[in-house]
Amino acid sequence: MQHAPTIDPGHETSTGIDNRKLLMWLFLASEVLFFGGLIGTYLLYRNSSVAPPCPTDCVFDGVTYQGLFDIPFTSISAFVLLMSSVTMVLALAAIQRNNKRGLGIWLLATALLGMTFLAGQAFEFTEFYHEGLTLNTNLFGTTFFVLTGFHGAHVSVGVLLLVSMFIVSQRNDWTKEHSLNVELLGLYWHFVDIVWIVIFTLVYLIQT
Amino acid sequence: MELAALVLATGVKAFFQSPAYVIGVPLVAVGGLALMLALTPFELRWPAPIRESDLPVLDDPPEGHPDASEYVKVGVFLAVVTAVEVALYYLDLAEGALLGLLLALSALKFILVVMWFMHLKFDNRLFSTMFTGGMILVLALFTIVLATLGSSLV
């Protein structure tokens, strides 16, 4: 079954830009505010917990509690997600050159890196839970799990989209005419990556 | 089995109190479903079976877009910047200096991904204008809100 190209070169818009791309950027703008609110809330309450556990070493009632954050482990997670952005953009570069096989390989690589990141997050959440941190333990638990949980949910959606795009692209005649589809998914995936760049610095590395 | 034993032993409420299970179990279920769909030997009505493209692979990227090697170079640079960030975390620097350096390196990574991987550097200027304007407004808003409400960072 032949599919018609998804881009109509003769279609003109009042802005001169493809409406789908403009819509994706507007969606990402709303996501900036969404994650900005969650990051802002975390920063606001970061030192306000009145009970352990804490992200870094803390003292309650004369007892010292060891911090939960494992920076080497999270650094590897951050590196994995960063590299998934590289494989995503290589997928776009491949389909722009009519390289359907290259597109498939890089899409799968991106999905696998995304799943590795999610596995790391599930492991981290499990560790924190065993240390006594839940959603309702203290303000740190609430703000941390909501912020990183929503980010993980975005990565999960991205992985599902990547796997779906891999299946559809490999079972149809995808050429450079379809590159906008890959570019739009790429925009979403890179956005998820830059959110983690901010979270990694503000939540994990900066401990003021 | 272990999961079923946990639910039987502690009840459904305890299961839902663990963020690892709440996030992990649906993820594994959906991932397994996607894998089954991808590897299914049956020819489904949709999607159509895999077909090889008969179009030749082009040598050059489209006009205005960088070559794949450029993306790899940016990726390597981003990895190096991340390594520097982590190294700085372990150095015994003054709090203010560390804060400034980490924020600057994070902003550098952010800008590189947006400019190169999200193509703002090569795309229509309308996107850059929208994005830069929005970022300035958001940063101003959060600085004011966090400073007003007393965040330790601002």
Looking at per-residue pLDDT, the higher value among B12 and A139 belongs to A139
Smallest CA–CA separation between A45 and chain B, in Å?
7
**Nearest CB to A198 within list B53, B98, B106:** B106
**Nearest CB to A43 within list B58, B95, B146:** B146
* Contact state of B67 with A125 under an 8 Å Cβ cutoff: no
Residue A1: pLDDT above 50?
no
Indicate the pLDDT class of residue A15, thresholds 50, 70 and 90.
confident
- Chain B contact probe: residue of A44, A188, A204 with most B CBs at under 10 A: A44
Q: Write out residues in chain B with pLDDT < 70, as ranges.
A: 1-4, 6-24, 34, 37-55, 59, 63, 151-154
What is the pLDDT, as a whole number, of residue A5?
Answer: 46
CA-based nearest residue in chain A for residue B139: A36
Which tokens sit at A61? 């009632």
List all residues 6 or more positions away from B112 whose beta carbon is below 8 Å from its beta carbon: B74, B77, B78
Of chain A residues 120-159, which have a CB less than 8 A from chain B? 121-122, 125-126, 128-129, 134-135, 145, 149, 152-153, 156, 159
Residues forming beta bridges with residue A59, ordered by sequence position = A64
CA A45 to chain centre: 23
Contact status of A14 with chain B (Cβ, < 8 Å): no
**Nearest CB to B106 within list A17, A193, A197:** A197
Looking at per-residue pLDDT, the higher value among A6 and A127 belongs to A127
**B-chain residues within 8 Å CB-CB of A115?**
31
* Contact state of B68 with A1 under an 8 Å Cβ cutoff: no
Considering chain A, what is the average pLDDT of its residues? 90
pLDDT in tens, A52-87: 999 988 888 888 998 999 999 999 999 999 999 999
- Chain A contact probe: residue of B36, B113, B127 with most A CBs at under 10 A: B113
Question: How far is Cα A191 from Cα A151, in angstroms, rounded to an integer?
Answer: 11
E strand or H helix at A60: strand A58-60
* Contact state of B146 with A168 under an 8 Å Cβ cutoff: no
- Evaluated on CA atoms A99, A16, B123, A84, the torsion sign reads negative
CA distances from residue B74 to A76, A181, B31 in whole angstroms, order as listed: 18, 23, 31
What is the pLDDT, as a whole number, of residue A9?
Answer: 52
- Chain A contact probe: residue of B37, B82, B88 with most A CBs at under 10 A: B82
Q: Which CATH class is domain A19-205?
A: mainly alpha
Question: How far is Cα B79 from Cα B87, in angstroms, rounded to an integer?
Answer: 12
Smallest CA–CA separation between A162 and chain B, in Å?
11
Question: How far is Cα B116 from Cα A64, in angstroms, rounded to an integer?
Answer: 45
pLDDT in tens, A157-197: 999 999 999 999 998 889 999 999 999 999 999 999 999 99
* Contact state of A171 with B62 under an 8 Å Cβ cutoff: no
**Nearest CB to B23 within list A122, A167, A174:** A122
Worst-scoring range by mean pLDDT, A31-35, A41-45, A129-133, B65-69? B65-69
pLDDT in tens, B125-140: 888 888 888 888 888 8
Burial class (CB in 10 A: 0-12, 13-18, 19+), A58: middle
Residues forming beta bridges with residue A64, ordered by sequence position = A59
What is the pLDDT, as a whole number, of residue A51?
Answer: 87
What is the pLDDT, as a whole number, of residue A120?
Answer: 94
CB pairs under 8 A between A and B: 197
E strand or H helix at B84: helix B68-90
What is the pLDDT, as a whole number, of residue B4?
Answer: 67
Alpha-helical regions (H) of chain A:
19-45, 71-96, 100-130, 139-170, 179-199
**B-chain residues within 8 Å CB-CB of A128?**
19
CA distances from residue A113 to A74, A109, A137 in whole angstroms, order as listed: 14, 6, 31
**A-chain residues within 8 Å CB-CB of B80?**
none
E strand or H helix at B19: helix B19-39
